[in-house]
Amino acid sequence: MARIILVTGGARSGKSSFAEKLANTAGNKIAYIATAEIWDAEMAERVDLHQKRRPSGWLTFEAPRQAETAIATAASSAEVILFDCLTVYSSNCLLAQPDDATPPVRREAVLDALDRLVAAARQASGTVIFVTNEVGDGIVPDNALAREFRDVAGLVNQKVAQAADDVYWVVCGLPVEIKRQASVIMEGLRDG
């Protein structure tokens, strides 16, 4: 059973860089699962930055959807799997739904895909590190799809945080371990 780590933070917070450092310390054979699809020059630049930062010896798997298969494949040859990122993966799953699907149907489809992903991660040996964005801390989006995505991303993050052994929040480039702190707080609430 894998050790699952979740790394969350805002845009350009340093979360991916921190997750890469964690991966390097967790094992020698590292697989990177990339979820982005390149639709424009800005996304191409982001992908290029990530690729340049990664060591050349890492195995790379492209999995914009159905990433549970990529996790199972990566687990057969790697000690550490770095999945970057859940937010983009959730967006891909959300946008893959039929245009006439209702928000509850789309949400359940994304959460079902996430359940399959977490189940595959649990079956791996070694360490699985998920990177995600904390998107709900900003302004309320101005359109229905963006609000739906923000809500789905929040639910995805909660589910993975519950499944994770460790959760880190990266802010201003500084990682803060939050799952153990949360456990202490919740225990205090039960006692009081």
Q: Strands 166-171, 174-177: parallel, antiparallel or unpaired by DSSP?
A: antiparallel
Cα angle value 144/68/90 (rounded, 5°): 15
When pLDDT is cut at 50, 70 and 90, the band that residue 192 belongs to is low
Contact 172, 10 (CB under 8 A): no
pLDDT tens for each residue of 77-86: 999 999 999 9
Residue 11 has pLDDT above 80, yes or no: yes
Res 56 pLDDT > 90: no
* Full residue range of the structural domain in which residue 123 is found: 3-191
Structural domains in the chain (count): 1
50 is catalytic: yes
| Residue 157's CATH number | 3.40.50.300
Report angle CA 92, 96, 101 to the nearest 5 degrees: 130
| Catalytic hit among 3, 29, 46, 50 | 50
The band of 54, judged by pLDDT with boundaries at 50, 70 and 90, is confident
pTM above 0.95, yes or no: no
